[in-house]
């Protein structure tokens, strides 16, 4: 595992902690981080010593989605190479939501774009009260297609239609009200808030939890078949190569409004 972009530790009780570790870019993910997260999820799924997985972020922000500077370097890829990057991203979010062990996101500071997918894909989410959230892909000419199943399952399509269309920031209290997080705690109190929930998870039988998660996802229609998975991958990859995405990413890098915006 690449420890410089993801820190991974399993304690004596079987609680695994995966910490996003690119604080200089607000823990935005690139290909290297996606590979490391996938490795952590694979270990959690296959290692009987792991009982629970906790996701958290190093530095002032939990996770800021995709690294748009990295995204800019992908625009010269061939169609198939671009699709493979989207497929790699989609595999991570699919592996998270289908992880056979309970998962928990401890969210602080900021959670943007794909970061919201990590939260929505976790079984349990706790946010500190100062956290700001946003589903930002459309602002940059991109699509959150890969995380839409998780978002729809967590907050419902009506809330997705508002927050993914406007890309507006919303508070931790709003995130709780719409179902993106379960609990809001005081700043610096995430570990305190998580402790009794982790205790409850450890008291539950591991195989029962695995079967419960599998059945719950299946009955809710959240488990994705391979054809739907590939469709979301293709939409994601094609959009990233579009003229609109090129302009959106350029506007981010150049710190200017995109050309489609007309100021009042």
**64-75: average pLDDT:** 92
According to the CATH classification, is domain 6-189 in 3.40.47.10? no
pLDDT in tens, 207-253: 999 999 999 999 998 888 999 999 999 999 999 999 999 999 999 99
Residue 1 clears pLDDT 60, i.e. is over it: no
70 sits in which H/E element: helix 68-74
State residue 3's pLDDT score.
55
Q: Among 2-6, 11-15, 32-36, 65-69, whose mean pLDDT is lowest? A: 2-6
Residue 77 clears pLDDT 90, i.e. is over it: no
* Cβ–Cβ < 8 Å for 16, 74: no
Q: Which of 60, 62, 63, 86 lies closest to 74, judged by CA?
A: 86
Residue 44 clears pLDDT 70, i.e. is over it: yes
State residue 121's pLDDT score.
97
Instruction: Name residues whose C-beta falls within 8 Å of residue 222's C-beta, 6 or more positions apart in sequence.
Output: 97, 149, 150, 153
Domain boundaries, the chain: 6-189
Q: Phi, psi at residue 182, to the nearest 5°?
A: -90, -35
pLDDT in tens, 113-166: 999 999 999 999 999 999 999 999 999 999 999 999 999 999 999 999 999 999
């Amino acid at each position: 595992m690449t420890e410089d972009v993801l820190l991974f530790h399993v304690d004596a009780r079987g609680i695994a902690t995966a910490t996003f570790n690119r604080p200089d870019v607000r823990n935005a993910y690139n290909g290297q981080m996606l590979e490391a997260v996938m490795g952590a999820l694979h270990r959690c799924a296959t290692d009987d010593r792991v009982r629970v997985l906790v996701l958290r972020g190093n530095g002032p922000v939990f996770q800021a989605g995709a690294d748009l500077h990295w995204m800019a370097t992908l625009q010269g890829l061939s169609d198939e190479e671009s699709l493979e990057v989207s497929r790699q991203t989609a595999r991570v979010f699919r592996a998270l939501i289908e992880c056979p062990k309970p998962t928990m996101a401890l969210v602080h500071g900021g959670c943007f774009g794909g970061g919201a997918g990590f939260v929505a894909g976790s079984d349990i989410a706790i946010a500190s009260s100062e956290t700001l959230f946003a589903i930002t892909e459309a602002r940059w000419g991109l699509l959150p297609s890969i995380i839409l199943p998780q978002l729809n399952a967590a907050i419902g399509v009506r809330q997705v239609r508002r927050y993914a269309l406007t890309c507006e920031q919303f508070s931790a209290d709003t995130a709780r009200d719409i179902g993106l997080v379960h609990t809001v705690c005081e700043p610096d109190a995430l570990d305190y808030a998580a402790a009794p929930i982790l205790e409850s998870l450890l008291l539950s039988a591991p195989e029962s939890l695995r079967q419960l998660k599998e059945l719950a996802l299946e009955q809710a229609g959240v488990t994705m078949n391979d054809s739907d998975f590939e469709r979301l991958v293709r939409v994601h990859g094609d959009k990233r190569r579009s003229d609109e995405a090129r302009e959106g990413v350029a506007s981010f890098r150049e710190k200017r409004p995109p050309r489609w915006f007309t100021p009042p």
